[in-house]
Amino acid sequence: MDNIVYWLQSSLMRVFPNSPASNKKNICIHGAGNERISFQACLRNLTPVQINTRISVSGPKDLGIQVRRVGYVLVRHHNTDTNESELDGVGHIPGYVPDPLFPEETATLGPFESHAFWITVSIPPNLQPGIRTLNIQFIDGDTVECTLTANITVYPFTSQPSHNFPVTHWIYADAICDWYSAEPFDERFWAIAEQYLKNLVEHGNNCLYVPLFTPPTDGVKRPTQLLRVTTTGPDKYLFDFSDVQRWVQLAKKHGAKYFEWTHLFSQWGARYGIRIYRNNQDINSLIWPPETEANSETYRKFLAQFLPEFHRFLQSNRLVEQSFFHLSDEPGKDDLQNYKEARNILKELAPWMKIADALSDINYGREGLTDIPIPSIESARYYADAGIPAWTYFCCGPRGNYLNRLMDTSLAKIRMSGWLFYHLGAKGFLHWGYNYWYKRGANCLIDPFMEQSGQAWPEWPYGDTFVVYPGEHGPIDSIRWEIFAESLQDYSLLQTAGIARDDNLFSALKGYDDFPKTEEWLDAARSHVLSL
C-alpha cells in the first residue's frame, strides 16, 4: 500500500505513536544459546484514513519466535529530578508511551500514526552456530504489503543461568485477588497466581517472595496470609503450612532457586509486631491489636511458638540455606535501637535466620545488625568502600543520572542494569514493584494502563510500582520488564564467560550514576564477550 512505511528497529528504542518512520529494512542481532533476544517491526501510516495490518514472522524451526503487539499507555508527565538529557520520550510525554506487550499479531493505525510489534527470538542451548534469517511480512487482507528480513547470528557459546546472584521482585497476592475477583486462596487464585510465578522466573527472578503473612509494607493491606494461624487459648497457637507448601511447590515447579519471606516486624523501624489474621476473609480477625509493640510479651510468645515450627517446615523442604528473611523494611538512623531489640529477639529465638533488609544507613552494616544489607544504589558505594558485601535496589529514586527503570528511562539505560550489578559487585537485587496496581497506601485499585505511579506522582515516579500489567488470565509483559530481563541475561553471559569484574571491558562503568547509556556500547561489549 502506498504511503505506508515499514521498517525494523532494535529493542532499545521506543516507538511512539508519532515517531517518524525509518528506512531500515533489515536488522542484524546476535545472541548465545539459552538467550532471548528481541527487536521491533514497525510501520507508519502516512494517509488520512484508518489502516489494518497483520504481521507474520517465519524462520528456522530451531529458533523460538514470539510476536506481540506493542501497546500504549497514558503517561501524564515526565518524572521529576532528572535533566532533559537523561529523559526518554521528550516531545512525546505527556502522551502515549509504548510499554505493554499484547499477545496479538494485528493492529489498527489511525491517520499519521506509527505502531510496532515486538519480536522475541529464543535460542536453544548448544545450537549450531551461524546466521539464521527471519522473514517479517506485513499483510493487508490476503496481500503481502512488505517483507523485511532479520539476520540472527548465533555464536558458539551457551550462556548458563546465573549463580550466587539472587534477584527478587515483590509479588502482591492481594492485587491478584482484587483484580481477578478471586479469594485467597481459592482455585481461581492459584490458577492465575501460577502464571505470575512462572513469569517472574522466566524473566530472571530466581528468588520468589512468599507471602507467609500479609506484607507489612505501604499501609494496611487486604489479608493474604498463606500461613493459617489458629488460637487454641491465651497466647497459644497452631499453624497450618499447607498453602505455604503449595506456593513453594509452584515456585519450584517453574524454576525458583531461592525464597524470600515476609517481614516479621513493622515497616520503617520495627516498632510493632505485624498484623496476623485468623481469617483472610475477615479484616477484623486480627489476633492482637495493631499497636502491639515488637518487644511485647504477646508478640514474643507468638514468635517463640511460630519460629520453631517455621524452621521445621524449612528443614523438611530443604529451604533453610535457600531462604532470605526480613526483619523491617527501610529502617532509618532514628530506628537503630528498635531494630537492635528486634534483631536480638530473632537471634535468641531463631539463630539460624539470615536477615536481609532494604536499608541504606551504613551504620546497620558497620554494626553487623543485618546479615545481608540491601542498600539503595545511591548508598551502595558506602558499603563497597567499607568492604561490606551487599545486595542493592532502586525504588522511586535515585533519579537523574542514576540507573532506574521508569516510563521515561531510556531502554539502553535499563539494559545496563546487569552490567552494573556484575561490575560493581552487587550480591543480589531486590525491587518492591512487580504488580502493585494500587493507589499508594490504599486498597483501591488503579487502572495501570492509565496510571503508573500509584496516584502519587511526583514522589512515586511513573513506572516504579509495577512491571507487568494484568491480562485476562495472567500477566502482560512490559517493554521495561523485557529489557530488564535481557540485562540479567547479560549478567549470566559475563558470569559464564568468566569475565573478571575489573576487566578493561568495564573501564567506562564508574558507578550507578556514571556509565555508558548507548546501544552502540552495548552491542560492542556483547560482541566482545560472545567472540571470546
> Got the DSSP string for 416-474?
THHHHHHHTT-S-EEES-SB--B-TTSS-B--TTT-SSTT-TTTSPTTSSBSEEE-SSS
CA gap 386, 75 in Å, rounded: 40
Residue pLDDT, tens place only, 392-420:
999 999 999 999 999 999 999 999 999 99
Burial of 172 by CB count in 10 Å (0-12 exposed, 13-18 middle, 19+ buried)?
buried
| Mean pLDDT across 126-146 | 96
Instruction: Give pLDDT, residue 180.
Output: 98
| Mean pLDDT across 141-157 | 96
φ, ψ of residue 422 in degrees (nearest 5): -70, -55
Specify the residue for cell string 490476503.
142
Other Cβ atoms closer than 10 A to 81: 12
Instruction: Give pLDDT, residue 118.
Output: 98
Instruction: Give pLDDT, residue 1.
Output: 57
Instruction: Give pLDDT, residue 174.
Output: 98
Instruction: Give pLDDT, residue 2.
Output: 73
Given a cut of 60, is residue 170 above it in pLDDT? Answer: yes
Terminal alpha carbon distance of the chain: 45
CA gap 480, 468 in Å, rounded: 9
Answer whether the bond into residue 185 is a cis peptide, omega within 30°: yes
CA gap 183, 189 in Å, rounded: 6
Residue pLDDT, tens place only, 56-87:
999 999 999 999 999 999 999 999 999 999 99
CA gap 430, 176 in Å, rounded: 20
CA gap 483, 220 in Å, rounded: 32
**Chain CA centroid to CA 203, Å:** 8
Neighbouring-strand partners of residue 325: 355
Entry pTM? 0.97
| Mean pLDDT across 478-483 | 98
Confidence of residue 18 (pLDDT cuts 50, 70, 90): very high
Neighbouring-strand partners of residue 17: none
Neighbouring-strand partners of residue 230: 238
Residue pLDDT, tens place only, 208-255:
999 999 999 999 999 999 999 999 999 999 999 999 999 999 999 999
Burial of 351 by CB count in 10 Å (0-12 exposed, 13-18 middle, 19+ buried)?
exposed
